[in-house]
Structure 1
Amino acid sequence: MKNDIKQKSILLFEKKGFSETSIQDIVETLGVTKGTFYYYFTSKEQLLMDIHVSYIDDLLERQETVRLNQLSNRKKLEELIALLIIDIANHGPSGKVFFREMRHLCEDNAREVKRKREKFRKNLEAIISEGIAQNEFKKELEPGIIAFAILGVTNWSYQWFNPSGEISADRLARVYSDLIFNGIV
């Protein structure tokens, strides 16, 4: 039931927004009582935090798997770009809630989520730094800026990318990788 509450809430938050979705909306969608909701979550904000932590923890776990693979740093970056785009394709509503609704978390919860997001970015930055040290990437690159650029390009895709549209998630990931590694000239 806890997972059902989360999944239905994600869809409601995506459609109506966190502020406009009431606990009553959530329980009516599920056909349960508010008591059922409060058995699993103390508040709507705690539910939102659970959604955020689940989302980022899953990304961090999959990022770590890529980081530990015996691959070139370029290949690791390509896989992480694909991971982020395919995640948007597979979990679009969760991604929208993750990126759009964080402003509704209390200060302590927002700080925890930001810390985890920063860890993801720092891990990406470390791969870029290692690639520079191993002469896979240009020496003059600034790893921090490049990490932000990769995250900006990939994460913003949740706004417009339609997995059912004319471009697949795999193709979009390849386009982004080509852009990042080769530019447009």
Structure 2
Amino acid sequence: MKEKITAQSIRLFEKKGFTETSIQDVVDSLGVTKGTFYYYFSSKEELLMDIHLGYIDGLLLYQEQILKDASKSCKEKLFEIVTMLITSISSQGAAAKIFFREINNLNSEHVELIVQKRDQFRLNIEELIRTGVENGEFRPELDVLIITMAILGITNWSYQWFNPSGRVTDREVAEIFVEMILKGIQVN
């Protein structure tokens, strides 16, 4: 039931927004009581935090798996990370929207935890780019922080416009992004 409450809340938060969606809206849409909701969550904010953690923890776990793969070059790892980010929008678009749009509705302690995890994701990409520069895969004069922010900017914003059932697949979008990124940073 916890998963059903979370999934339905994601749909409602995406459609109406966090502040405009009440606990009553959630339970009514599922045909359950508020008692059922409160069995799993102490508050609507705790539910929102659960959604945020589910999204960022999943990305961090997958990113870690990619980065640990010693058989892949930095270029290949970068492609896998960008693909993962676009694919997460395809598979978890509503949760991605909530993650980026509703963070201000978390209390300051929860925001701090999410920001730490988001920063770790960014730092992992920075380290990947830095390693690519050091091993000669990427140009030596790159501003690693700016390149990292550019990568995150183009991928994270795609939740606003990417349509998984549109003319281009998530993998094709990732290929376009990575080609655009690498043509600017890849050594000839």
1:86 aligns with 2:87: yes
Match of 1:97 in 2: 98
Offset of residue 9 of structure 1: 0.2
Match of 2:56 in 1: 56
Match of 1:8 in 2: 8
Q: Find the aligned partners of 1:98 and 1:4 in 2 and give their Cα distance.
A: 18
Q: Find the aligned partners of 1:72 and 1:166 in 2 and give their Cα distance.
A: 30
Match of 2:133 in 1: 132
TM-score, length-scaled by structure 1: 0.98
Dislocated runs of 4+, deviation >6 Å: none
Q: Find the aligned partners of 1:5 and 1:66 in 2 and give their Cα distance.
A: 31
User: 5 Å matches for 1:33-182?
Assistant: 33-70=33-70, 71-182=72-183
Give the count of matched residue pairs.
183
Q: Find the aligned partners of 1:143 and 1:127 in 2 and give their Cα distance.
A: 9
TM-score, length-scaled by structure 2: 0.96
Offset of residue 95 of structure 1: 0.6
Which amino acid letter does the alignment assign opposite residue 111 of structure 2?
Answer: A
Q: Find the aligned partners of 1:55 and 1:170 in 2 and give their Cα distance.
A: 19
Offset of residue 145 of structure 1: 1.2
Match of 2:23 in 1: 23
Q: Find the aligned partners of 1:41 and 1:171 in 2 and give their Cα distance.
A: 39
Offset of residue 142 of structure 1: 1.2
| Residues 22-79 of structure 1 deviation map (CA, whole Å, 9 limit, x = unaligned) | 0000000110000000010000000000000011000000000000002100110010
Offset of residue 144 of structure 1: 1.2
Over the aligned positions, Cα root-mean-square deviation in angstroms equals 0.6
Offset of residue 176 of structure 1: 0.3
Secondary structure in 2 matching 1:91: helix
- Aligned-residue sequence identity (percent) comes to 51
Q: Find the aligned partners of 1:132 and 1:21 in 2 and give their Cα distance.
A: 47
Which amino acid letter does the alignment assign opposite residue 162 of structure 2?
Answer: F
Q: Find the aligned partners of 1:103 and 1:152 in 2 and give their Cα distance.
A: 19
Q: Find the aligned partners of 1:63 and 1:142 in 2 and give their Cα distance.
A: 22
Secondary structure in 1 matching 2:153: helix
Q: Find the aligned partners of 2:111 and 2:167 in 1 and give their Cα distance.
A: 36
Q: Find the aligned partners of 1:74 and 1:144 in 2 and give their Cα distance.
A: 17
Q: Find the aligned partners of 1:110 and 1:143 in 2 and give their Cα distance.
A: 26
Gaps of 5+ in 1: none
